[in-house]
Amino acid sequence: MFSRMKIFTGNANVDLAREVSKFAGIPLGDAEVFKFSNDDSFVKINENVRGADVFVIQPTCYPVNDNLMELLIMVDALKRASARRITCVIPYYGYARSDKKDQPRVPITAKLVADLISVAGTDRVIAVDLHADQIQGFFDIPVDHLVSMPIFARYFKANFDLGNAVIVSPDSGGANRARAFAKRLNCALAIGDKRRVGNDDNAEILNIIGDVKGKTAILFDDMIDTGGSLCRIATVLMDQGATGIYAACAHGVLSGNAIEKLEASPIEKVFITNTVSLSQDKKQCSKIVQLSIAELLAIAIKKVHVEESISILFR
């Protein structure tokens, strides 16, 4: 059934691709992906893919432009090698926060990237926890949008006493996401009232809407980037009487001095998935706990290959 299914990866997150390959029972395809001395990226597929159903696992994380170009060039190489269908598995979608024109004369880069991926020859996309649902509509090809929420819910149910827990959305934009998580865990919900001042790392937490006094607060968001907003809201939660603070974010981007901020914050543990590859120093942070989405991706890949529904993965 899976004889003409192949899985390839670029350099963005090789460990995740190997884990997905292991769960799927399909060996990683043989491909060379590297840079010439002049900084040009190059891809060579070293095996026959004619007529094959090919899946390319490549998050467009740091370095974003390099990993995006690897993905586009790999798709082009596979298309020219006569692959029957090419599905890009993008666990982390770079430029996702540029999803609207919220200022004069700015781009909608998330749409531009979607166009590039489509035009390169991609037939389908599998994404995980997109920053905004409307990004699915930026593509003119089918998009399967997976969520890591069931993985987090399973972990918290097994390892936490949730009787006195409250799920906290850092801002109103993520309220629907946090509300769905609170419903899964049968917990109360609180929302941070946040106002951005200047750049993305400069946000003022004005208030917490909801009761957090004497409760274990679990911050829930799609990503942690610089960590500024998350650490600030954690401080406000502590000031308002929360007895313990944890965070769960699908994508651990952890750019800039995010690790230093987390270490100095009142957050006890930050749970992330392995959509983004962590450097060794980030892995050594005592507050970071990484959960794997490899099995989720492997099941999705196999179901897409045999044209089955993937709705069971949301339960």
**How many Å apart are CA 306 and CA 212, to the nearest integer?**
46
Evaluate the omega torsion of the peptide bond into residue 142 and state whether it is cis, within 30 degrees of 0: no
Q: Is 194 a catalytic residue?
A: yes
Residue 173 CA to chain centroid, in angstroms?
17
- Tokens representing residue 180 in the block: 């769905």
Identify which of 278, 279, 218 has the alpha carbon closest to the alpha carbon of residue 249. 218
Residue 171, CA distances (Å) to 150, 177, 197, 242 in order: 21, 11, 14, 17
Paired with 9 in beta bridges are: 57
- Tokens representing residue 141 in the block: 């090809």
6, 111, 194, 302: the active-site residue = 194
Share of the chain residues as helix, strand and coil, in percent rounded to the nearest 5? 35, 25, 35
> Tell me, what DSSP letter sits at residue 28?
B
Residue with tokens 């991926």: 117
Indicate the Cα dihedral angle 73, 78, 82, 86, nearest 10°: -110
**How many Å apart are CA 185 and CA 179, to the nearest integer?**
10
With a CB cutoff of 8 Å and minimum separation 6, the contacts of 25 are 2
Residue with tokens 């696992």: 57
**How many Å apart are CA 225 and CA 252, to the nearest integer?**
7
**How many Å apart are CA 136 and CA 132, to the nearest integer?**
8
| Residues with catalytic roles | 194
